[in-house]
A and B are shown apart, each in its own frame.
Chain A
């Protein structure tokens, strides 16, 4: 049994499924996440596959700041993702609210609602930075 568990833990970090969810931002991070998936950067070479279903998800990429309406949607999504899960905040807005932090409908960064594991700064971060952010959080799946 010990062997099986070891194998499972070892192989999980090489076969993750990810989903991205864009909150109240400018969408720039979202398109850089899309770019990270495509041939030039190719996130799939690390075994990371894009999915649209939270129940299939291991890694959630959050871009943009939390506002009064999407905060419940985000919480709802996170609750559907099975543990262990990795939550990566992508871009300045998801980190702190960014340039929009003073706007009346913005609550702040993604950590106001969820526990974020990895923060990727940048406005928007380059696809390389997004990939680096995801990979640096993979140790969470070996615990």
Chain B
């Protein structure tokens, strides 16, 4: 048996972002995997030294472009709790709508990249075409495509008029129809199933023990969703976490596919319940105290820790991002895989290196 070490990355066609996996390979089977990070590490937690707590909202949004709305929202929620203010109900509901739109664009991006990792170029193009509808609504309602910057401390920056809400409803109908059309390919197609079924199985107990979060944990059969804690406007809406039991790449794909429909339901009922009123509660206070706040991102649970001493600058900001927690699960999955499956299984966890390294 020949043992060799293969470095995958930092630049690799399948990974959008630079990170390296050192794979110890015996013939064609991976026996050990060691990651190397730091190519995206910026040290933005330390920016609290030079930027005040309001400016940090913009930094929090730029931790990761794919889940920026939810990063911004979580940061604002933490500061609002420290200030002792509550955003008006309309702002809470608008935050929910934009967060779920962001979740949709993230999941569609992932589905597209997943198709590309399988070598299914035309499916990748189709999914990105569907995704553009979501990007168009984001641009119409917020003015930007990716980093929408709608969250401010105390509420949201922009309001949504009736025309905008109707636009969202119409676009969602179109997206739902388009997604139904690709379902047979994603779920039933022979080559897709051959590529994804029983690849990279993460057992239920092991997933929990390793601290996996989000769709990865739910695909392994554990019903855990931080939105169920009812933060923001999520407490008013009724929904059940999407759970699959397979624990393989196919299950993770199905979870994200079904979550797209769940997000659409949440947006629709959110728009129906949108109350009139203000969109921002203003406060001139400075934050003081210590707090831990959690949200559900497209990739799972994000945890913000903030310590503030009543001055303009925060003392400490610490962000535990979802992919950071999922990395341990990834390193547990890789040994035993065929070398050819490594990119696909790695991608099936939806690694966001910009989040991981901050």
Interface, chain A (partner B; CB < 8 A): 21-32, 34-35, 38-40, 51-54, 64-65, 67, 69-70, 73, 77, 99-100, 102-106, 123-124, 126
Contact = CB atoms under 8 A, between A and B. Distances in A.
Given A73-B39, A124-B65, A126-B145, A27 B354 contact: yes
Nearest to A30: B16
Interface string B104-115: 000001001100
B59 A99 contact: yes
Given A65-B42, A103-B43, A22 B18 contact: yes
B132 A35 contact: yes
A26 B50 contact: no
A113 B59 CA distance: 24
Interface string B195-208: 00000000000000
23 contacts: A23-B40, A24-B42, A25-B40, A26-B63, A26-B65, A26-B354, A27-B17, A29-B65, A31-B65, A34-B113, A35-B128, A35-B131, A39-B129, A40-B129, A40-B132, A67-B38, A67-B40, A70-B38, A70-B40, A99-B58, A100-B44, A104-B43, A105-B42
A38 B128 contact: yes
B187 interface: no
B90 to A, nearest CB: 28
Contacts of B13: 51-53
A73 B39 CA distance: 9
Interface in B113-128: 113, 124-125, 128
Contacts of A35: 128, 131-132, 135
Contacts of B129: 38-40
B16 A28 contact: no
Given A103-B46, A124-B145, 15 more contacts: A22-B18, A24-B42, A26-B62, A27-B65, A27-B354, A30-B65, A31-B66, A34-B128, A35-B135, A38-B128, A40-B129, A67-B40, A99-B59, A100-B47, A105-B41
- The 6 lowest CB-CB distance pairs between A and B, nearest first, are A28-B65, A52-B13, A38-B128, A70-B39, A105-B43, A27-B354
Contact of A27 (B43, B50, B64, B131): B64
